[in-house]
């Protein structure tokens, strides 16, 4: 099966510091790929390279098997790649619909097409079986952490996106809301999207992922099927870059 999104041999340096070394990464449609690694392993940098925020120094990016060049977030958006950052980038003083269409408002003539936007927002939320939000005209400031996360995810899905990248979506949430967000993450993939989940919580990773990609000091230690590995192996990949036959050999990707 061709991965929907693939990067090959990506290098990235900030000045004298090389952050990514020859990184390969794949995300498949219909699957959740967990991207794990210690602080500073390069998770966020990799994601920002994919999203077009950082230009890559060398390496290739393929979308649905075809080579593509992403020069900015707009290019990534056009391919159908959406990233939900930790801070969510929602505007507190706007309601859910306004947030979901922020900067990409629908117009009919000179005025905003509120009815269509409302309908699309409603459809997206119900398509994701989101029942926790009372009204889509609610201001975002009145929402709980889990609901905000849900709105940010729905906003990413609204644009017929094909790849959704979530940066620590459950980090600031309580148990009940974490459960809802994890189930939403799983549903996104079950509807056919390629989902990339960055997380430090091993239970979250094992609960919803199909594959695990472990970064170690800027190198991809291993990309494995979740069904084939144990918790201990993943922890070793994260902390030492290798585990038995898995992972880096002498500190480099074999």
Partner 1 sequence: MRAGPSQEDIRRHNLGALLRHVHLGGPISRAELTTRMGLNRSTIMALTSDLTAAGLVREELPRETGRAGRPSLVVRPESSRVYVFAFDVGPDRLAVARVGLGGAILDRREVARRRGPFELEELAGMLAGFARQMRRKTRDDTVCVGAAAAVSGGVRKGDGVIRFGPNLQAEEVPFGEELGRRLGLGLPVSVGNDANLAALAEHSRGVGMAVRDLLYLHGDVGIGGGIIAGGHLLGGHEGYGGEVGHMVVNPGGRACGCGSSGCLEAEVGERALLEAAGRLNPHPDAHQGREAVRAVVDAADRGDIRAQEALKRVGDWLGLGVANLVNIFNPEMVVFGGMLREVYLGSAAQVRTRLALHAMAPQREKLRLRTSSLADDATLVGAAELAFAHVLADPLEALARVQG
Q: Please report how close the Cβ of residue 243 comes to partner 1 at its closest, in angstroms.
A: 13
Per-residue x/- track, 119-148, partner 1 (CB under 8 A) = ----------x-------------------
Q: Please report how close the Cβ of residue 233 comes to partner 1 at its closest, in angstroms.
A: 8
Sites for partner 1 among residues 80-99 (CB under 8 A)? none
Using the rule CB under 8 A, is 1 a contact of partner 1? no
Of the pair 13, 129, the CB lying nearest partner 1 is at 129
Using the rule CB under 8 A, is 194 a contact of partner 1? no
Using the rule CB under 8 A, is 229 a contact of partner 1? yes
Using the rule CB under 8 A, is 40 a contact of partner 1? no
Using the rule CB under 8 A, is 149 a contact of partner 1? no
Using the rule CB under 8 A, is 227 a contact of partner 1? yes
Looking at 226, 236, 238, 243, which residue binds partner 1 (CB under 8 A)?
226
Tell me how far CA of residue 226 lies from CA of 81, 204, 213, in angstroms.
23, 12, 10
**3-state secondary structure string, the chain?**
CCCCEEEEEEEEEECCEEEEEEEEEEECCCCEEEEEECCCCCHHHHHHHHCCCCCCCEEEEEECCEEECCCCHHHHHHHCEEEECCCCCCCCCCEHHHHHCCCCCCEECCEECHHHHHHHHHHHHHHCCCCCCCCCCCEHHHCCHHHHHHHHHHHHHCCCCCEEEEECCCCCCCHHHHHHHHHHHHHHHHCCCEEEEECCCHHHHHHHCCEEEEEECCEEEEEEEHHHCCHHHHHHHHHHCEECCEECECCECC
Q: Please report how close the Cβ of residue 180 comes to partner 1 at its closest, in angstroms.
A: 10
- Angstrom distance (rounded) from CA 95 to CA 110: 21
Of the pair 157, 208, the CB lying nearest partner 1 is at 208
Using the rule CB under 8 A, is 176 a contact of partner 1? yes
- Angstrom distance (rounded) from CA 182 to CA 4: 22
Binding part of the chain for partner 1, among 60-68, 143-151, 226-234, 239-247 by CB under 8 A, reads 226-234
Q: Please report how close the Cβ of residue 178 comes to partner 1 at its closest, in angstroms.
A: 7
Of the pair 100, 154, the CB lying nearest partner 1 is at 154
Q: Please report how close the Cβ of residue 225 comes to partner 1 at its closest, in angstroms.
A: 8
Site of interaction with partner 1 (CB under 8 A): 129, 174-176, 178-179, 182-183, 186, 202-208, 226-232
């Amino acid at each position: 099966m061709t991965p929907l999104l693939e990067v090959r041999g990506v290098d990235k340096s900030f000045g004298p510091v090389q952050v990514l070394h020859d990184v390969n990464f794949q995300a498949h449609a219909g699957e959740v790929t967990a991207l794990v690694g210690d602080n500073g392993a390069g998770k966020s940098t990799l994601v920002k390279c994919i999203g077009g925020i950082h230009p890559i120094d060398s390496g290739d990016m393929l979308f649905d098997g075809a080579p593509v060049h992403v020069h900015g977030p707009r290019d990534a958006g056009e391919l159908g790649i959406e990233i939900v950052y930790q801070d969510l980038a929602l505007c507190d003083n706007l309601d859910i619909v306004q947030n979901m269409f922020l900067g990409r408002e629908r117009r009919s003539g000179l005025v905003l097409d509120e009815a269509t936007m409302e309908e699309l927002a409603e459809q997206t939320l119900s398509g994701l079986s989101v029942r926790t939000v009372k009204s889509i005209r609610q201001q975002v400031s009145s929402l709980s952490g889990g609901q905000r996360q849900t709105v940010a995810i729905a906003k990413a899905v609204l644009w017929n996106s094909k790849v959704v990248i979530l940066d620590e979506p459950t980090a600031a949430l309580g148990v009940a809301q974490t459960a809802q967000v994890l189930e939403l993450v799983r549903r996104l993939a079950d509807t056919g999207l390629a989902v990339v989940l960055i997380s430090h919580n091993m239970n979250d990773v094992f609960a919803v992922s199909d594959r695990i990609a472990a970064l170690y000091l800027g190198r991809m230690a291993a990309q494995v099927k979740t069904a084939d590995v144990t918790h201990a192996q993943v922890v070793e990949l994260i902390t030492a870059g290798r585990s038995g036959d898995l992972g880096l050999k002498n500190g480099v990707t074999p």
